Structure 1
Amino acid sequence: MPSRSVDAATWDAALLRLLEDVYTFARCGPRLHEDWAEDVLAVMERTVADPRGWSARDPETFEAGREAGFPSYPFRAMAAEDLRAGLRPVTAGAAVELLASLAQEWFFEGSPVRSREDRDAVLADARTVLDRFGTDAAFWTSSDLARDCAAPDFLARDLEGGHPFTDHMMDLGLLAVSADEVGVFWSFNAN
């Protein structure tokens, strides 16, 4: 059963505060398959709608790629096994830090999350966004920081990509997977 602790207005406000100033993709979709990777691909391809009707972040700049015949743009076309192969599991705490880190720019960040005066508020917004998926959610990332550890300190270091899922020079993703929903949160080095 989906988390009831977060309502639409609270989630939408937290998502907007967190990701409004950066180049990100943030969409959710239903769990319709036994394999969660199939559900994530459906979100990336935009073939499913948010089951709750809540807001998303999907920059208009991606429309040109979709109109050119690439429905998953900016993501590369891939199979579920390709997606799973490029991801690593992370703990819920690390997922909150990673999502908070996506609120900063890739390069020349004047105030990375770790040193912001509003650090606690940014982390609270990230926690609110991920609370939607409940306490039993699993989290996955494309970050190389999770290569050797499921709980890397994402706030201690600058954004670092990993397995590329797009044609951007750098991209970094976080997936949230619950029994009922999936969330795709992705940051790009363009702003």
Structure 2
Amino acid sequence: MPQQEPAVQADSWKSAVSDLFGGGWTFAQVGPRRHDDWRRDVAAVMGLKTTDPRGWSSVNYAPEVGENRSGTNSPFFSWSSEEIDRSLHEIGMRSAGQLLVALKGDSYQAANIPDFDQQRDRLCRSSRVILSRFSTHSRFFTNAADAHRNPDADLLNPDTEWDCLSVYTTDCGLVAVSDTEIGVFWAFWED
């Protein structure tokens, strides 16, 4: 029997975002979709130039690096639409859900989450809550290279490289694109 998609509301959203992005070097922001070219809206969310259209919780736990290489308070470099397009690869909803969980683990691996087997059901439910905010016609993108030729890549424990978009040594994340909203969910690492 397929799992029913949980309904998302402000309190379930806050709980799910806290569960998956409530610690470590993480970023979870949603902004409005204002342009046909969604990449412009992604750049605005990454550049901290938007606020959540619903007024719901967001997270920016990306610590400052020794030098502010972005020139802003954002953990991301300022990217053009074309540069974002080259770095992001479209994935399916299943892979997107896996990746949201994996971002909680060291090296973006769910296997590196302490007591993952005991937490798996809760973390997967949090992932489904986050994704349920975006319509069934939404598109999902990641900078994980495994997704370049395989939109259904297993991203729960990816063995891949990432096209980094942030000021940090390594980063990995998910972009959710609906007709009305853009979500950016990211984790970072600095050597």
TM-score, normalising length: structure 1 = 0.86
Runs of 4+ in 1 over 6 A off after TM superposition: 63-66, 107-110
Q: 2:179 corresponds to which residue?
A: 179
SS of the counterpart of 1:15? helix
| Cα distance change on mapping 1:109 and 1:136 into 2, 3 Å | closer
> Which residue number corresponds to residue 144 of structure 1?
145
Contact 2:101 2:110 in 1 (8 A): no
Secondary structure at the counterpart of residue 36 of structure 2? coil
1:65–1:73 CA contact under 8 A, matched in 2 = no
Quick one: which amino acid aligns to residue 129 of structure 2? Answer: T
Task: Report the Cα distance in structure 1 between the residues aligned to 2:38 and 2:89, rounded to whole angstroms.
Answer: 14
Asked if 2 retains the 8 angstrom alpha-carbon contact of 1:88 and 1:141, the reply is: yes
2 CA distance for matches of 1:113 and 1:153? 20
C-alpha spacing 1:131/1:64, structure 2 compared with 1 (3 Å): farther
1:11 is aligned to 2:7: no
Contact persistence 2:14–2:57 (CA under 8 A)? yes
Question: Residue 89 of structure 1 aligns with which residue?
Answer: 90
Residue identity in the other structure for 1:50: D
The one-letter amino acid of 1:56's match is S
Distance, in Å, in 2 between the alignment partners of 1:94 and 1:50 is 24
Q: Which position in structure 2 is the counterpart of 1:41?
A: 43
Where structure 1 has 5 or more consecutive residues not aligned to the other structure, the ranges are none
Offset at 1:11? 0.5
Question: How has the CA–CA distance of structure 1 residues 178 and 62 changed in structure 2, closer, same or farther, with 3 Å as cutoff?
Answer: farther
Deviation larger for 177-186 or 54-63: 54-63
Q: Aligned partners of 1:128 and 1:29: how far apart in 2?
A: 17
Where 1:78 maps in the other structure, the secondary structure is coil
TM norm structure 2: 0.86
- Distance in 2 between residues matched to 1:5 and 1:162, nearest whole Å: 32
- Corresponding residue for residue 165 of structure 1: 165
Q: Could you say if the C-alpha distance between residues 138 and 65 of structure 1 is closer, same or farther in structure 2, counting changes exceeding 3 Å?
A: farther
* Farther off after superposition, 149-158 or 38-47: 149-158
Amino acid at match of 2:7: S
1:84-128 per-residue CA deviation (whole Å, 9 max, x = no partner) reads 111100000100000110111228987448952111211110110
Identical residues among aligned pairs (%): 31
Tell me the equivalent position of 1:50.
Answer: 52
Structure 1 contact 23–190 (Cα < 8 Å) conserved: no
Counterparts of 1:108 and 1:174 in 2: how far apart (Å)?
Answer: 14
Aligned-residue Cα RMSD (Å) equals: 2.7
Counterpart contact for 1:161–1:170, Cα < 8 Å = no
Unmatched segments (≥5 aa) in structure 2: 1-5
- For each residue in 1:58-84, what CA deviation from the matched residue of structure 2 results, as whole angstroms up to 9, or x when unmatched? 126249977x97236321122111111
- Mapping of residues 110-121 of structure 1, within 5 Å: 111-112=112-113, 115-121=116-122
Cα distance in 2, alignment partners of residues 174 and 81 from structure 1: 17
Q: What do residues 145-189 of structure 1 show as CA deviations (whole Å, max 9, x unaligned)?
A: 11220011112445x441111232211120000000000011112
1:37-65 alpha-carbon deviations (Å, 9 max, x no partner): 00011111111110001111112624997
